[in-house]
Amino acid sequence: MEKPLLAVIIPCFNEELCIRKTVEQLFVVFKSLIEKNKIQPESYIYLIDDGSVDSTWDIIRELHNENPLVKGQKFIRNYGNQKALIAGLEGVQVLGCDCVVSIDADLQQDEWAIEKFVDEYMNGYDIVSGIRNDRRTDSFLKKSTAIAFYKLMNLLGAKIPVNHSDYRLVSRRALEVMAKYPETGLFLRGFFHELGLKTAYVKFDVKPRMAGESKFNFIKLLELSLTGITSFSIVPLRIIAMLGFLMALFGFIVGIEAVFEKIFFNDAPNGMMTTIILLCVFGGIQLFCVGIIGEYVGQIFREVKDRPRYIKDEELK
Ligand code: UDP
Ligand code: MG
């Protein structure tokens, strides 16, 4: 196989403190890979400005003027990191590349793992997923919720590797397959693992954020995981149906028993407390279940509207 033309895509949301250094550092990696004859010298970097309100886009434009191998596009507003990644994948597919690696703007992922990604690509893998060695840099809350999320997803039938973030290489072939999936709420981590293309795993170290603060807050993470679940698994809906059936069965049996007692022992069950407890428990379960169904209805709602995933403001090619 011919050595690949590599593209690296970077989603950026208010990353003015990081991107210049990140791009410079990635070019150091490129240089070493070009010297080792592992990638084409025209390999490039593609930054997606996810509606930043700081000077991120100005810096990207500067970088592009200094070196045309820095390319990018800007969204008209903040769409979130998944959409930025999708835009990057679509952008480099149009510009042309053999494989593409996505990495964060704060370079928390060890950029030297890209070499191993490319090696695996040369071994014939279409997808190479980066797996974190540990989560030392994450707060306790983030670590525990993330682990719970991966456990839940796997339990629900979506086989996402634990500790995989969006640091991965995908081949041009995988990009072509992705183009056939029009859904707006594409959850990339699950998506690339369901495709069934040949996948390799590479372990990498996580570093602390280079500068600035995390651009993810609790709400954004919750949103990401809910999309992840509702776009990948209908098991929650089945559990609800089962739960409803079991509850009805339980009510039916208790009802018969009450009638039975009344007739034969003239001893009807009573007590305000029982009523209140039952009301709260069953009312709560029902509301919770309606909420879960609502998540799916919301997902359908978003998909049938068939809105574009994102709107491009400007592109530097
Ligand atoms: N990001 C983005 N849009 C957002 C939030 C984050 O494009 O709405 C980008 C961000 O600029 C970074 C990557 O997603 O390149 C990961 O974000 P961050 O490092 O803040 O997340 P963390 O590492 O704390 O999970
Ligand atoms: Mg980060």
Residue in 15, 23, 104 to alter for ligand 1 test, most ligand atoms within 8 A of Cβ: 104
pLDDT of residue 269: 63
Smallest CA-to-CA distance from 123 within 171, 182, 81, 71 is with 171
Burial class (CB in 10 A: 0-12, 13-18, 19+), 1: exposed
Q: Which ligand is nearest to the CA of 142?
A: 1
Q: Give whole-number Cα distances, 163 to 146, 158, 266, in Å.
A: 8, 14, 61
CA pair distance 199, 64, nearest whole angstrom: 33
Of 231, 202, 191, 78, nearest in space to 132 by CA:
202
Residues of the chain with pLDDT under 50: none
In the reported structure, the alpha carbon of residue 214 is separated from the centroid of ligand 2 by a whole-number distance in angstroms of 6
Q: 99-102 and 6-12: which strand pairing?
A: parallel
d(CA 167, CA 110): 10
DSSP 8-class letter at 138: S
DSSP of 275-292: HHHHHHHHHHHHHHHHHH
Which atom from ligand 1 is nearest to the alpha carbon of 84? 7
Q: Is 193 in the pocket of ligand 1 (CB under 6 A)?
A: no
The CA 257 to ligand 2 mean position distance, Å, reads 59
Both structure tokens of 167: 């640091």
Ligand 1 mean position, distance from CA 273 (Å): 50
Say if ligand 1 is within 6 A of residue 49 CB. Answer: no
Please write the tens of the pLDDT for every residue from 191-231.
888 888 999 999 998 888 888 888 888 888 888 888 888 88
Q: In the CATH scheme, what architecture does the domain 6-216 have?
A: Alpha-Beta Complex (3.90)
Q: Residue 213 CA: which ligand 1 atom is closest?
A: 20
CA nearest to 49, candidates 89, 19, 25, 27:
19
What pLDDT is stored for residue 268 in this prediction? 65
Is there an atom of ligand 1 within 6 Å of 110 CB? no
